[in-house]
Structure 1
Amino acid sequence: MKLALLILAGGRSERWGKEKALVEVEGKPLLLHVLERLEGLSEERIISSKPGLGLEVRGVKLVEDFSEEKGAVIGLLSSLPQVRSEYVAVVACDHPRANREVLEKLAERAEGRDGAVPRWPNGYIEPLYAVYKTESLLKAVREAGGEKRLRKVLEKLDIVYVPVEELREADPQLDCFFNLNSPEDLPLLPPRRS
């Protein structure tokens, strides 16, 4: 399977007081944590960011969102047309404990479907740590008619929802799903395990 990596780094970050992708965590920007942890997942790596963020990372294509509007759907609309691979791993920039093996397992489960999205026992899904068929996701976000909630957009797709328990072999503590939404989350950051 040809798989691209798309990191969404375009969201506003009022709670941080600066761009979340550039927030320093353990001595480096949050975005670099994600890139480093997912090294080797794909040769095709794309970052979707808000206009003027000024990011430059060697070997990574930067796509600026066409709008300053908030939301993952805007980032997907802006960047998915640039993806050449049949499938794309979509990861938000605020996952400092991203795990390549988890995404590889999701890619296996996505084969022949529109995507594979992790689901918690309570029904909560992780649409920004998932793998999708590029063409299907692009079509769905284009036809969303202004819908900004990715969860609603996914209802139109043939998604396999993968219980997070099935991903523990790759990430026993499921640290990859921890996301830093605000400075208050920093003390909760799981330790680096690998």
Structure 2
Amino acid sequence: MQSTGIILAGGKSSRMGRNKALMTLEDRAVIDRIAESLSTITTDLIVVTNTPDEYEFLGLRTVSDTYKEKGPLAGMEAGLRASNTEKNLIVACDMPFISSGIGGYLLTQLEEHEAAVPIIQNQLHPLFASYRKDVQSRIEQSIISDELKIRLLFEKINTKTVTETELKNQGFSVTENDFFNMNHPVDFSQALKISSQKSSES
């Protein structure tokens, strides 16, 4: 199955105070960990960033937002625009412990849906979700209309919400870590603990 992993690395990291994507866990940048996970389930990788020089070390294709200062929706639009595949998995750059298994399952849901978005403990995770390439045009319309909340997009396309129960029924041992994201310094401290625990268990 041809598919593309799209990593959104365009945020300002204002709450963290430094670039979240380049913070290190076990001596590896968070974005490098994400790229490695995505490479096991996708056939192509794209990094969406307005500072491409910072990510040259990854050796991956980079694209910049077409629409500036429009938040994550603009990153999604740019990534889908640049994608060469119908199926795409979009991931934020601050999710160091994503499950490649769950990501692969989300991609399979695009046979019958335009997007597949996990909902865990009543929280949607649109930035660890799968999207068909043709959703790009709908996102562009939303941006032009200044409708920048991702939730509004889901009302306009054929979206499947993937529940925790469904994932568990598919054999996935869903944990909070799979959807853990870092916004504040305290979150990074927690990520360090999780990473250390994972290392000791392996």
Aligned to 1:115: 115
TM-score, normalization by structure 2: 0.86
C-alpha displacement of 1:85: 0.4
Q: CA separation in 1, counterparts of 2:105 and 2:63?
A: 27
Contact 2:73–2:150 under 8 Å retained in 1 = yes
C-alpha displacement of 1:150: 1.2
Q: CA separation in 1, counterparts of 2:51 and 2:17?
A: 17
The residue correspondences of 1:39-188 to structure 2 (distance < 5 A) are 39-51=39-51, 53-58=53-58, 60-69=60-69, 71-122=71-122, 124-135=123-134, 137-144=135-142, 145-168=145-168, 169-188=171-190
C-alpha displacement of 1:63: 0.7
Cα 1:42/1:48, change in 2 over 3 Å: same
Contact 1:119–1:161 under 8 Å retained in 2 = yes
Contact 2:164–2:174 under 8 Å retained in 1 = no
Q: 5+ unaligned residues in a row in structure 2: which ranges?
A: none
Q: Which has the higher helix share?
A: 2
Alignment-mate amino acid for residue 129 of structure 1 = F
| Percent identity of paired positions between Structure 1 and Structure 2 | 29
Corresponding residue pairs, total: 192
Cα 1:21/1:70, change in 2 over 3 Å: farther
Alignment-mate amino acid for residue 72 of structure 1 = P
Alignment-mate amino acid for residue 29 of structure 2 = P
Please list the CA deviations of residues 68-105 of structure 1 after superposition, one character each: whole Å capped at 9, or x if unmatched: 51511111222221101011000001110011110111
Aligned to 2:6: 6
Q: 5+ unaligned residues in a row in structure 1: which ranges?
A: none
Q: How large is the Cα RMSD of the aligned pairs?
A: 2.0
Q: CA separation in 1, counterparts of 2:24 and 2:115?
A: 32
